[in-house]
Amino acid sequence: MRIIRHICKTPEELRGGAVAVGNFDGIHRGHQALIGHCRAMADTVKGPALALTFEPHPRSIFQIDAPPFRLTPFRSKGRLLAKLGVDCLVSLRFDKKVSHLSPEDFIQEILVRGLGARHVIVGYDFVFGHRRAGDVELLREQGARHDFAVSVLDPVTHDDDVCSSTIIRVDLETGRCRRAAELLGHWWEIEGRVRGGDRRGRQLGFPTANLHLRDSALRPALGVYAIRFGLKEAGGTRWYPGVANLGHRPTFDGKGIVLETHLFDFSSDIYGRHGRVAFVEHLRPEQKFDGIDAIKAQIALDCDQARQILADPVNARERFETG
């Protein structure tokens, strides 16, 4: 999959295709339906399938005091979109100039002149342009004027729940990992570079790999989780079972939130490597212990519980494929 950041430099072979427009935060089942339809329409018009999105997320511009909320950082978003068959991710910088485009100018400058769109695919609640003044009816009207077709997809539901980034955020913030995965269609992940810590886990007999948390990334419920840890190996990703603690480490008067992962039956040195942590189940809230022996005993219990959970077919990695 190719990535472009300036539509003035769109290669000719990426023009004249189908364009799915959205923030695509989470790449949940609703987004997947949108991209699937885009792929089908691209084949119909014999052009490329493009996903048009914006960085940074507009919410981070208009709600600067909002807590971290991103479900999917750019790297994860690109990987998932490529897996869905997108030919090109068009990631435009969201700035003051873009935010002040009228709906008509958005269509003219970006969709028509920039991408030469022949088919545009959006969700049922799509709004665009300055002050969100444009809606799907205006898009259809302008599509007829500029000679591109428009598809508006209905909401996608799973077990009567609408697949939406807002609902998924609430699920993760309340520790409901599996329900979030049901709506996402893949296990939710945090990824980043493995960095050195204070090696306290090794002293306890449970060595950990610590991942740096991005400032914009959603903070799920603090506590202990059954997880799978992904590392690039032999041209793919190999997943290792484990347990993780996300929190302040109150027993040791920790400062800031740290994601510490302990991998079962694993001894390789992975400092500096890029890792992916897939959250499978929230085991318990973070807690403060009276001493080292108490925390070691609880970690052992956490590991036993996590092994059982990860061995259950209902939590198989393939059930919600992460790529």
3-state secondary structure of 10: coil
Q: Give yes or no for residue 205 having a pLDDT over 70.
A: no
Beta bridge partners of 230: 239, 276
pTM: 0.91
- Residue carrying structure tokens 């511009």: 61
Question: What is the structure's pLDDT at 252?
Answer: 53
φ/ψ of 115, rounded to 5, equals -115, -10
**What integer pLDDT is reported at residue 197 of this predicted model?**
62
Rounded CA gap, 118 and 299, in Å? Answer: 56
Least confident piece of the model among 97-111, 230-244, 309-323 = 309-323
What percent of the chain lies above the pLDDT cut of 90? 70
Lowest mean pLDDT among 55-69, 125-139, 142-156: 55-69
Helix (H) or strand (E) holding 278: strand 274-284
Domains in the chain, start-ordered, CATH in brackets?
2-158 (3.40.50.620), 177-320 (2.40.30.30)
Q: Is the confidence at residue 201, as pLDDT, over 80?
A: no
88, pLDDT greater than 80: yes
Q: What local confidence, expressed as pLDDT, does residue 63 receive? A: 73
The pLDDT of residue 199 is: 56
**Half-sphere exposure of residue 161: CA atoms within 13 angstroms, side-chain side:** 18
Query: What does each C-alpha distance from 61 to 66, 71, 78, 232 come to in angstroms?
Result: 10, 16, 21, 33
pLDDT of residue 59: 78
| Other C-beta atoms lying within 10 Å of the C-beta of residue 316 | 12
Cα-only R_g, the chain: 22
* Averaged pLDDT of the chain: 91
C-alpha–C-alpha distance, residues 116 and 235, integer Å = 35
- Tokens 């997108």 -> residue: 86
Q: What 3-state DSSP class applies to 154? A: coil
Per-residue pLDDT reduced to its tens digit, 266-285: 988 888 999 999 999 999 99
Q: Is pLDDT of 251 > 70?
A: no
